[in-house]
Chains A and B, each alone.
Chain A
Amino acid sequence: MKSRFKVPDELGIVGVLIIVAVAMALMSPSFRSGGNLSVLLENGVVVAFLALGQTFVLLTGGIDLSVGSNIALTGMLAALTMAAGFPWWVAVIVALLVGIAVGLFNGLIVHYMKLPPFIVTFATFGITASIPKILTNAQSVNIADPMFAVIGRGSLAGIPTPVILVVIALLIFMFVLHRTPYGVHLYAVGGNKETSRLAGINIARVTISAYVVSGICAAFGGLITMSRLMVGYPSAGSGNEQFYSIASSVVGGVSLFGGSGTILGAFIGAILIATVSNGMNVLGVPSFWQPLVIGVIILGGVTLDGYRRAAAARHSGLRRIRRNRNKDNPPESAAEPMPAPAGKTPGSS
């Protein structure tokens, strides 16, 4: 049977993104400028990073509420490392290790204690938000090493470094999810843990690693945030980052129940959210309007997606099977093989 052309899952969200971008561009000339595009991307990078990690966790059927506060923890520990006289690259390693540790902590508890991810990561959110404040007495820490600024402020061929980083991460994750057995296992575990276990999949490894990926992504978020300001401040990531990371994934088509959605969709979702907040800044809309507008867009995006899925299901009509009915040859005994159904695709009416 020929496999026919498939409409990519991300089509809906790309459509919404284009509509929003065109509308903004029509309303504001400064939105259209090249400089603004780079600002938009830079501002969206942190949320995009978090959304990538969040998607791994959501695909397993979990949720990670600690990514926002993990920005503060990883970033502050990087800043403190440099304040203690270590070079920038040691700070980067420390941040990544801390991100991995937080992910391991979440993953191990969720998997082995069999506790709901919502509760576990909510607790971790509290812990990771407090530690940096306790360590510094809620003071910020200046970062001196100029090399550290490259992460958040540098650029290569005119493209900001953080944008390059997040695109590399996206490509790696797309490869992992679509081209490796691990990727299939992640979707499988999100679809049904017990089934996956019976199929011989190591669910512990899959579940825990998803939280670790999320922790690493949060660490990149922390490094980029601190590097852009060259200050480690303990209340970093306490704004909308957490909420937007989930929202990006969900508008991008990732199911909160696990097992379906794509990482590219989540990434585009993050760009959509960045576009909306950037557009509103450019248009001079007071910032307290942003969550309201983004909320409405999320609802719109998800509703549209629901319609699209329902329509797709209606057209597939696969639950009906058409048969090549043969009056002379009903299958009565085992000796006669089952008549092979005709090569017609079901539901072609």
Chain B
Amino acid sequence: MATDNTGWRAEGIVKVYSGIQVLKGVSISLRPGEVIGLVGHNGAGKSTLLKCLSGAVTPEAGTISLDGEALTLTSPQDALHRGISTVYQELALLPNLTVTENIFLGEELTKGGTLDRRGMREVARDLTRQFNLEVDVDRRLGDYPVATRQLLEIAVATHRDAKYLLLDEPTTALESAQVEQFLALVRELSKDRGLGILLIDHKMSELYAVADRIVALVDGEVRIDADVASVSEEAIVEAITGEPATTVGADHQVTLDRDEPTSPPGDVVLKVENLRNKDLEDVSLTAHAGRVLGIYGLIGSGRTEFLRTLIGLGAVDSGSIELFGAPYTPKSPADAQRRGIAYLTEERKIDGIIPLRDSVSNAVLPVINRYSRYGLQLQPGRLRAAGNEYMDTMRVRGSRTAPVASLSGGNQQKVLLARVLAQHPKVLLLDEPTKGVDIGVKVEIHRMLRALAAEQGLTVIVVSSEEEEVLAVADDVVIFSDGYCSGETQHAAGLTDADLRKAAWSH
């Protein structure tokens, strides 16, 4: 390997953010036709490494070379021109432009100096068809759901005639069928077209399905760099979490290992009957105190809209809702909160975090009045103490005083979960609660949610696209499909991934 220097090679990469070494001399190489799975805990420096390789940030030290030739990348353009195409962790397409304009952004086709709109439209149509994306390429991208945007972003990256693809958690918003499709694409691109692909992903099953080599990053250092065949899932999990794999478990093992007794259903807390609005055709369901209710459904099936309707973000056209035995008409998020409902959004960047405020303020935002004298004078000490306590529970890594946007993606998600806890809610509505969270903490969160229900008698409703997650966290499961939910619950204990998938498609 040492004599052959084809491919993309980074050596001794050091990156410092506010005095802290985020990458401590990382070396990694990527050859044509190879898929590297890059794993690591939240804040390990995966995204930062990827940004160094794509020219988006400049490392303090280290060398990057392509086929033996040393390079200095000063901008993302540099990398693009060398055939390196990147999908960043945060959705990076522009909602105000059309699908076509997004696909060609920065690489527009022209005819005699002017835009070749017709040509671009045709390519865009082909490309979206190839990815089974049913979109009108002349529409603004913002009109489409997150999953569509994420798939489109992958499509865009592959379309750019790249030799290397860098992908940062590209599957977080996708549903299982789309994930399969994505993995098949990765295989095709690497094996048939000879692309070198670096894939950051927290899901072991996905990595093992496509990666040739696994690199595990821990606290800015490479802990494992080995062929996929020679390293076990347990070893990786152990390296990342610092705990033996048996207590943590890889994602799919959690289901099998679940042995906590499920408590008998308590009182009915939330009862929804025949709820209808522009996004929901007919939704009925019942949630009990002391239980975790999992909502499974495909993207666009109305799950997200259902949660949002419950907190007053969608109109109720007909149907009835009962909360704690009394009729409930959702008015506003503030009202829902007063009644003990806490909500976690699916899109943290859009209506979750306040990017430029520190994580303490972000965590205690809804209950900031609690930490003030007579509701007027803030008591910063108490506020900080409380915020830190909730964030410790969620194991947030990174600065608590810096803008929350400077935390790694998974840690931002944990701050939002801390915000849910801070509300001392009686009912939790969580939309994709572990989006971007690393394996260790994910299991921890599942455990915590189960404990909140079982021990404190809370009602927890979890929406998730991951079958494993639904099965791991929920006592009961309902299926959403095409805006319908019959209210028929099944016990999670007896279900498999395939059962859920089948139910969602054939309901």
Contact = CB atoms under 8 A, between A and B. Distances in A.
Interface residues of B, number: 61
Interface in A298-340: 314, 316-323, 325-327, 329-334, 337-338, 340
Interface string B41-72: 00000000000001010000000000000000
A198 B107 contact: no
A320 to B, nearest CB: 5
Nearest to B87: A198
A233 to B, nearest CB: 41
Of A178, A190, A331, A346, which is in contact with the most chain B CB atoms at under 10 Å from its CB? Answer: A331
A232 interface: no
A335 to B, nearest CB: 9
Nearest to B51: A198
Interface size band for A: 35 or more
Contacts of B366: none
Interface stretch (A28-36, A63-71, A180-188, A243-251): A180-188
A3 B138 contact: yes
A286 interface: no
Contact of B506 (A197, A330, A341): A330
A333 B502 CA distance: 12
Contact of B92 (A198, A202, A316): A198
Given A1-B136, A198-B76, A320-B279, A184 B101 contact: yes
A262 to B, nearest CB: 12
A196 interface: yes
Interface stretch (B256-264, B297-305, B337-345): B297-305
A199 B76 contact: yes
Nearest to B144: A318
Interface of B: 54, 56, 75-77, 80, 86, 88, 92-97, 101, 104-108, 110, 113-115, 117, 125, 132, 134-139, 143-145, 176-178, 180-181, 183-184, 278-279, 298-302, 305, 481-483, 498, 501-502, 504-507
B94 to A, nearest CB: 4
B200 to A, nearest CB: 16
Contact of A259 (B86, B96, B117): B96
A198 B96 contact: no
Identify the 4 closest CB pairs spanning chains A and B, nearest first: A321-B300, A331-B177, A200-B106, A181-B108
Interface string A231-248: 000000000000000000
A179 B117 CA distance: 8
A1 B128 CA distance: 11
Contacts of A185: 106
Contacts of A325: 481-482, 505-507
A177 B449 CA distance: 51
Given A181-B108, A198-B92, A330-B506, A321 B178 contact: no
12 contacts: A3-B136, A3-B138, A180-B110, A181-B108, A198-B54, A319-B143, A319-B305, A320-B305, A322-B300, A323-B300, A323-B505, A338-B132
B96 A338 contact: no
A54 interface: no
Contact of A191 (B97, B114, B481): B97
A84 to B, nearest CB: 39
A340 B93 contact: no
Contact of B108 (A184, A197, A332): A184
